C-alpha cells in the first residue's frame, strides 16, 4: 500500500484555471475579491505532508456520519500540471464527512503543531456549507484546538466553505498540543452543512513556532513612518490659523437625507482617525487630505498610564495636567493636515495614581475585589498577579473622577481657544475604559456605583412604596437599596426578577449617562456648535461588553454620532456582512452612524496568521479594495458615514489605499449632493433592546442562542439579496404608523410582550402583512399576542432541523449549522441550549421540524389579516426563506439569494456570495449607471439588469431618473 510521507518543505501551490459554468476569471464591470495566482501564504518546513500524487483513496479513512452522502476523490484539474488534489463532494445537507490518513503521525509529548491545508470552495451555499480541519488525538477524539493560540478560531473563513474564484486558494488551520503521554495523532478534514464541492491541497502538519516565525517574517509591516517632513512650518500654520474663522458642525437634513453639516454646508462623513500617541509624528493625515478627506481625528490621552513612559498621557494626580503639551499634539496633527477640520478623540480614563488618592472611588466586584485595567483593556478577574502595566480603574460612576475630568477638559479647551486651535475643532470623540468604548465589562458594586444606582431608582420609582411594589418586597428604601446578585438563571422573569432587571439596565445605561454628562460639559466649554461622538461595542450581543444603551442615545440632546465596528471576521470577500445597527432609527432621530474600518485589514503588523483571519487582513490590494468597496457601499446606501482607524499610526504608506478612499468619498459626494430619490425597502428588521435584557447575561457563557438570534442572524440575512431596514422596537411602539411602508417585519428579542408591545402587534395585523417572530419571542411573557402557543424543552436536545415534506427552500438552522451541531459534534465539545417550541394548530404550514423529535421548528399561520411566521431555533431564518416570505407578501425582491445588496433609491452596492448569472430588478424606473465603467447598463426585455458575477465580486450602480 502506498503511504503518506513526511517531508521538509511544502509543495508549490496549485493554481486552477478551470471555470465552472457561468463564471469568468476576470471582470471589468466590478471589483474582484481575488485574482488567480495571487498572494500565497509563506512556506514553512513540514513535519508531515499528504503525498496526494502517490496514494489512492484506499490510503485514506473516509467516513460518512449522520446520514451524510457524497464522494471523496483524488483528481487532477486542467491547470494542475498533472498534480492531484482531493475533491470532496457533499451531496446533501445531513451529517458530515471526515477524511484522515489511515496511519497516524507520532508526536512527542508537549509538542505544538499547526495543521494547514489549501482549499478552494465551489457550489457551496453561503453561510450553510462548512469545511474545517481538526486533529484526532491519541485516544481517538477529534480535538478542536489547543489552548495555546488565543487567536483561534480565526473567523468564519476557518469554518465556512467560501465560494472561490477558480485559481485562488485559501488556508484552513487548526492547532494542537500533545499531552504528556505522547502517541500518534492524525490530521482530519471535516466537510459539513449544505451540499458543496471543495478542492483540498498541500495538506501538512507544521511545527507551530517555526510556522509562526515564517509567517511574521512574511508580513509587510515595517513600523510606522515618521512624518515630520509633512508638517508645514509653525509660522505659516499660525498665520493661516489667525486668518481662519471658527468652524462648526452638526448633524442635520439636506437634499432629502441625513448629512453632516460643517459650517452649515453638507459634507460626506468620511473621516480619517489616527491613534498615534507617540511624541513622534506618525499622523498620516496629509496623504488622506490630498485625496479629499478633510475631516480628521487625532487622539489625546489625558490620564497617564502605569508602566508606560510619559508620552502616554498628560494628566496624573501627582503632577496635574500639562495642557500645553496636549495642545502641541493637536498642533502637530493640524500642521500635517493644514486644510482639514478636526475631531479630537479624548481618551478620558483616570490616571494610574487616581486610586491611590481615592481608594473608595475605584471599580469593585461584588465580593469587593478591585477591577484592574490598562490603558485599553480590563484585566480578567481570575488573574492572580497584577502586571505592572495595570492599575485600579476608577468607577465610571465616580463623581470624584468625573469632576476631576471636567476640570482637566476645561483647562485643555481653554488652551485650545487661547492658541486658536479650537477654530478647526468641529467635534469631540469620547473614549475610555475597556477597548476605549466604555463597556460595562463587569458589574460594578463600588460605593459610587451603589450611590448612582440609588439615584437611578429614585428617578424611576420616585417613592419607596413604588420600589417595594416593583421588587415585591416590603420595607425597602431607595436611600439604602442594595444592588442584587445575579443568579444562574438563563432568563429574568417579569415581576419576580425586577430588581435584577433594574440593576442590569442601570449597569448598561450608566456609561452612556456618564458620557451624556461629559458631552454636555464639552459643548458648553467650546461655546460653539460641535458634534460629540460615542463608541459602541458589540451592541445587542451575547457578550457582557455588549451595548444595550442605544435607545437612550436616540433621545440624547448632547451626543450626535455613534461609532461601531463591522464584524471584523466577515469583511473579506465571499461572506455575508450585514449592518447590525438600527440605521433607520438613527436616521429618524437625526443621529449619524459611523462604521469603523480598521486598517489592520491591510498592514498585518505583528499579528499571527489566525489573528489576520480574525481581522480580515487583505493579503493584497485587490482584496482590500473589494472589502473597502463593500463596507463603503453599505454606508453610502444608508446615507451614514465611516472612518478609517489608523490604529497604531503610519498604515497609510501605500498610496493606492489613499486613492481608493478618496475615490469612494468622491462617489459618495456626487450621490449625496443630488436630491434623494424617495424609496424604502419593503422589509424591516425590528430589534427589541429592552426585551433582550431579559437574557441574564452577566455570568453566563452558554448564550450561543443570543448570538444566533440577532448578531449572526442579521449577518446571514445579508445573503438573502433582500434590502431591509433595521429599527429599534421602541420607534415602532411609539409610532406603529412607521410599519405601513413594510410588507414583511421581523421581530427580534421581544422576550416579554407587555401591553405596549401587544398594542403595536395588534395594529400591524392588517393589509396582508407578514410578521416574523424569531426564537425567544414571548419566552418570558405575552406569547399569546403573537398568535402562537409556546413552550420550552430542556437543554441538551439537538437544534438540527429538517425540511417538512414538499419544502424545497433552505431551512437549516444556524444553531445547528455554524455553532452547535456540525462543528462541536465533530469535536466532542457540544452544548445545546434549550429549544423554543411552538404548538401546531389546524391550518398551519410547517416549513421545518426538529430532527430529534419531529416538533415544528418553523410554522406559518394566518392571524387576522396577516401571515405570522414563528422561527423556533436561533438563527432559523435562512436567506432563502426570508426572500421567499418577502416575495409572497408582495414585497420588493431584486433578485435571487446569494448576493448581498445594500441600496437606496439612487445607489446599489452588490456583493456576490454565489457566482454565476444574476438579474437585478431596479426598485424604480431608472437609468442604471455602472459606477466603475462609467457606462449605462441596458436592461433585458423584462426590465432587469443581467450580469455574470464572480465569487466575491462587488459592483456599484447609480440609479438615475429616466
CA–CA–CA angle 583, 589, 593 (5° rounding): 40
Count the neighbouring beta carbons within 10 Å of the beta carbon of residue 157: 24
Q: Give the whole-angstrom CA distance, residue 380 versus residue 941.
A: 62
Q: Give the whole-angstrom CA distance, residue 168 versus residue 190.
A: 21
Instruction: Check residue 311 and report its DSSP letter.
Output: G
Which residues, in sequence order, are bridge partners of residue 370?
A: 364
Query: Side by side, which strands form the sheet with 907-912?
Result: 899-903, 907-912, 954-961, 926-930, 935-937
Parallel/antiparallel/unpaired status of strands 84-90 and 196-207: antiparallel
> For the chain, first and last CA: distance in Å?
70
Which residues, in sequence order, are bridge partners of residue 75?
A: 85
Q: What's the pLDDT at 121?
A: 95
Residue of 809, 802, 776 lying closest to 790 (CA atoms): 776
Q: Give the whole-angstrom CA distance, residue 683 versus residue 745.
A: 6
Q: Give the whole-angstrom CA distance, residue 295 versus residue 706.
A: 37
pLDDT tens column, 703-735: 555 677 777 888 889 999 999 999 999 999 999
Q: Give the whole-angstrom CA distance, residue 492 versus residue 693.
A: 8
Which residues, in sequence order, are bridge partners of residue 534?
A: 562
Q: Give the whole-angstrom CA distance, residue 4 versus residue 185.
A: 14
Q: What's the pLDDT at 10?
A: 24
Give the Å distances, CA to CA, from 651 to 227, 274, 433, 655, 734: 12, 10, 25, 10, 45
Which residues, in sequence order, are bridge partners of residue 133?
A: 189
The three cell numbers of residue 738 are 412607521
- Provide DSSP, 739-783: GGG-SEEEEES--B--HHHHHHHHHHS-TT-EEEE-TTTTTTBTG
Task: Say if residues 272 and 643 touch (Cβ distance below 8 Å).
Answer: yes
Q: Give the whole-angstrom CA distance, residue 309 versus residue 305.
A: 8
Q: Give the whole-angstrom CA distance, residue 763 versus residue 628.
A: 41
Residue of 458, 499, 507, 465 lying closest to 482 (CA atoms): 499
Separation of CA 798 from chain center: 27
Residue of 78, 81, 159 lying closest to 119 (CA atoms): 159
Half-sphere exposure of 857 (CA within 13 A, CB side): 29
Task: Say if residues 583 and 630 touch (Cβ distance below 8 Å).
Answer: no
Residue of 143, 79, 120, 93 lying closest to 878 (CA atoms): 93
Cis peptide before 241, with omega less than 30 degrees from 0? Answer: no
Task: Say if residues 118 and 14 touch (Cβ distance below 8 Å).
Answer: yes
Q: What's the pLDDT at 308?
A: 60
Q: Give the whole-angstrom CA distance, residue 957 versus residue 947.
A: 12
Task: Say if residues 550 and 539 touch (Cβ distance below 8 Å).
Answer: yes
Q: How many residues does the chain have?
A: 962
Parallel/antiparallel/unpaired status of strands 907-912 and 295-301: unpaired
Alpha-carbon torsion (796, 868, 739, 720), positive or negative: positive
Full-prediction pTM beyond 0.85?
yes
Parallel/antiparallel/unpaired status of strands 683-687 and 836-838: unpaired
Q: In the chain, count H helices and then E strands.
A: 23, 44
Give the Å distances, CA to CA, from 784 to 732, 752, 778, 791, 838: 19, 11, 8, 11, 11
Residues in the chain, pLDDT under 50: 1-26, 310, 818-825
3-state secondary structure of 957: strand
Q: What's the pLDDT at 87?
A: 96
Mean pLDDT, rounded, of the chain: 89
Count the neighbouring beta carbons within 10 Å of the beta carbon of residue 766: 12
Residue of 320, 363, 373, 392 lying closest to 514 (CA atoms): 363
CA–CA–CA angle 6, 183, 57 (5° rounding): 45
* HEC assignment per residue over 625-686: HHHHHHHHHHHHHHCCEEEEEECCCCCCCCHHHHHHHHHHHHHHHHHHHCCCCCCCCCEEEE
Q: Give the whole-angstrom CA distance, residue 170 versus residue 878.
A: 26
Alpha-carbon torsion (601, 604, 605, 606), positive or negative: positive
Residue of 244, 245, 333 lying closest to 289 (CA atoms): 333
Amino acid at each position: 500500500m502506498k503511504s503518506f510521507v513526511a517531508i521538509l518543505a511544502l509543495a508549490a501551490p496549485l493554481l486552477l484555471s478551470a471555470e465552472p459554468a457561468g463564471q469568468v476569471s476576470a471582470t471589468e464591470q466590478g471589483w474582484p475579491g481575488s485574482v488567480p495566482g495571487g498572494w500565497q501564504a509563506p512556506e514553512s518546513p513540514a513535519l508531515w505532508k499528504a503525498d496526494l500524487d502517490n496514494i489512492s483513496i484506499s490510503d485514506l479513512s473516509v467516513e460518512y456520519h449522520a446520514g451524510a452522502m457524497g464522494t471523496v476523490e483524488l483528481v487532477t484539474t486542467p491547470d494542475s500540471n498533472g498534480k492531484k488534489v482531493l475533491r470532496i463532494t457533499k451531496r446533501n445537507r445531513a451529517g458530515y464527512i471526515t477524511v484522515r490518513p489511515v496511519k497516524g503521525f507520532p508526536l512527542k509529548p508537549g509538542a505544538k503543531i499547526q495543521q494547514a491545508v489549501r482549499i478552494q470552495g465551489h457550489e457551496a451555499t453561503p453561510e450553510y456549507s462548512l469545511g474545517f480541519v481538526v486533529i484526532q488525538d491519541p485516544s481517538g477524539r477529534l480535538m478542536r484546538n489547543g489552548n495555546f493560540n488565543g487567536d483561534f478560531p480565526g473567523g468564519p473563513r476557518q469554518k465556512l466553505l467560501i465560494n472561490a474564484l477558480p485559481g485562488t486558494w485559501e488556508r484552513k488551520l487548526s492547532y494542537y498540543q500533545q499531552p504528556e503521554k505522547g502517541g500518534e495523532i492524525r490530521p482530519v478534514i471535516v466537510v459539513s452543512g449544505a451540499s458543496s464541492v471543495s478542492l483540498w491541497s498541500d495538506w501538512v502538519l507544521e511545527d507551530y513556532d517555526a510556522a509562526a516565525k515564517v509567517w511574521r517574517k512574511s508580513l509587510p509591516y515595517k513600523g510606522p513612518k515618521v512624518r515630520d517632513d509633512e508638517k508645514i512650518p509653525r509660522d505659516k500654520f499660525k498665520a493661516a490659523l489667525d486668518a481662519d474663522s471658527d468652524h462648526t458642525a452638526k448633524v442635520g437634513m439636506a437634499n432629502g437625507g441625513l448629512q453632516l453639516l460643517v459650517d452649515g454646508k453638507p459634507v460626506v462623513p468620511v473621516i480619517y482617525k489616527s491613534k498615534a500617541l507617540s511624541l513622534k509624528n506618525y499622523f498620516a493625515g496629509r496623504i488622506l487630505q490630498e485625496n479629499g478627506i478633510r475631516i480628521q481625528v487625532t487622539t489625546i490621552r489625558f490620564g497617564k498610564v502605569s508602566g508606560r513612559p510619559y508620552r502616554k498621557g498628560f494628566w496624573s494626580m501627582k503632577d496635574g495636567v500639562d495642557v500645553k503639551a496636549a495642545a502641541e499634539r493637536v498642533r502637530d496633527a493640524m500642521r500635517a493636515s493644514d486644510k482639514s477640520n478636526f475631531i479630537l478623540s479624548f481618551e478620558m480614563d483616570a490616571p494610574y495614581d487616581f486610586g491611590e488618592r481615592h481608594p473608595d472611588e475605584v471599580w469593585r466586584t461584588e465580593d469587593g475585589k478591585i477591577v484592574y485595567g490598562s490603558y485599553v483593556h480590563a484585566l480578567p478577574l481570575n488573574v492572580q498577579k497584577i502586571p505592572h502595566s495595570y492599575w485600579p480603574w476608577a468607577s465610571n460612576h465616580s463623581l470624584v473622577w468625573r469632576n476631576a475630568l471636567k476640570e482637566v477638559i476645561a483647562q485643555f479647551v481653554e488652551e485650545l481657544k487661547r492658541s486658536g486651535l479650537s477654530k478647526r475643532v468641529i467635534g469631540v470623540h469620547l473614549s475610555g475604559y475597556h477597548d476605549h468604548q466604555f463597556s460595562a465589562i463587569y458589574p460594578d458594586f463600588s460605593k459610587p456605583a451603589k450611590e448612582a444606582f440609588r439615584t437611578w431608582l429614585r428617578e424611576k420609582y420616585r417613592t419607596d412604596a413604588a420600589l417595594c411594589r416593583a421588587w415585591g418586597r416590603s420595607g425597602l428604601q431607595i436611600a439604602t437599596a442594595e444592588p442584587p446578585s445575579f443568579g444562574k438563571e438563563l432568563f429574568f422573569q417579569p415581576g419576580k426578577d425586577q430588581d435584577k432587571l433594574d440593576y442590569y439596565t442601570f449597569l448598561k445605561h450608566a456609561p452612556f449617562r456618564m458620557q451624556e454628562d461629559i458631552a454636555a460639559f464639552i459643548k458648553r466649554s467650546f461655546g460653539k456648535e460641535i458634534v460629540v461622538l460615542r463608541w459602541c461595542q458589540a451592541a445587542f450581543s451575547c457578550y457582557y461588553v455588549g451595548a444595550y444603551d442605544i435607545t437612550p442615545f436616540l433621545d440624547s440632546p448632547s451626543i450626535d454620532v455613534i461609532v461601531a465596528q463591522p464584524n471584523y471576521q466577515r469583511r473579506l470577500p465571499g461572506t455575508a456582512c450585514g449592518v447590525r445597527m438600527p440605521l433607520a432609527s438613527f436616521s429618524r432621530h437625526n443621529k449619524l452612524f459611523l462604521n469603523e474600518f480598521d486598517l489592520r485589514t491591510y498592514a498585518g503588523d505583528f499579528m499571527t496568521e489566525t489573528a489576520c483571519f480574525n481581522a480580515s487582513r487583505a493579503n493584497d490590494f485587490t482584496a482590500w479594495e473589494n472589502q473597502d468597496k463593500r463596507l463603503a457601499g453599505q454606508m453610502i446606501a444608508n446615507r451614514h458615514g465611516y472612518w478609517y482607524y489608523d490604529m497604531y499610526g503610519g498604515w497609510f504608506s501605500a498610496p493606492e489605499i489613499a486613492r481608493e478612499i478618496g475615490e469612494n468619498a468622491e462617489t459618495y459626494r456626487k450621490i449625496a449632493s443630488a436630491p434623494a430619490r424617495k424609496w424604502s425597502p419593503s422589509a424591516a428588521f425590528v430589534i427589541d433592546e429592552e426585551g433582550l435584557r431579559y437574557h441574564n447575561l452577566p455570568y453566563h457563557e452558554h448564550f450561543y442562542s443570543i448570538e444566533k438570534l440577532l448578531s449572526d442572524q442579521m449577518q446571514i440575512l445579508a445573503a438573502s439579496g433582500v434590502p431591509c431596514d433595521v429599527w429599534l422596537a421602541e420607534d415602532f411602539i411609539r409610532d406603529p404608523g412607521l410599519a405601513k411602508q413594510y410588507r414583511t417585519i421581523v421581530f427580534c428579542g421581544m422576550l416579554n410582550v407587555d401591553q405596549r408591545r401587544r398594542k403595536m402587534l395588534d395594529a400591524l395585523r392588517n393589509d396582508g402583512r407578514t410578521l416574523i417572530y424569531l426564537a425567544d419571542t414571548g419566552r418570558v411573557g405575552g406569547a399569546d399576542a403573537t398568535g402562537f402557543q409556546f413552550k420550552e424543552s430542556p437543554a441538551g436536545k439537538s437544534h438540527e432541523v429538517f425540511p417538512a415534506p414538499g419544502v424545497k427552500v433552505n431551512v437549516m438552522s444556524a444553531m445547528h449549522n455554524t455553532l452547535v451541531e456540525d462543528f462541536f459534534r465533530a469535536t466532542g465539545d457540544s452544548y445545546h441550549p434549550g429549544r423554543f417550541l411552538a404548538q401546531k394548530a389546524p391550518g398551519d404550514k410547517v416549513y421545518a421540524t426538529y430532527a430529534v423529535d419531529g416538533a415544528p421548528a418553523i410554522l406559518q399561520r394566518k392571524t387576522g389579516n396577516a401571515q405570522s411566521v414563528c422561527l423556533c431555533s436561533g438563527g432559523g431564518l435562512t436567506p432563502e426563506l426570508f426572500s421567499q416570505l418577502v416575495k409572497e407578501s408582495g414585497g420588493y425582491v431584486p433578485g435571487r439569494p446569494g448576493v448581498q445588496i445594500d441600496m437606496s433609491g439612487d445607489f446599489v452596492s452588490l456583493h456576490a456570495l454565489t457566482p454565476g448569472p444574476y438579474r437585478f430588478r431596479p426598485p424604480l424606473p431608472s437609468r442604471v449607471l455602472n459606477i466603475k465603467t462609467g457606462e449605462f447598463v441596458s436592461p433585458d426585455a423584462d426590465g432587469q439588469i443581467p450580469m455574470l458575477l464572480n465569487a466575491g465580486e462587488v459592483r456599484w450602480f447609480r440609479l438615475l431618473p429616466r
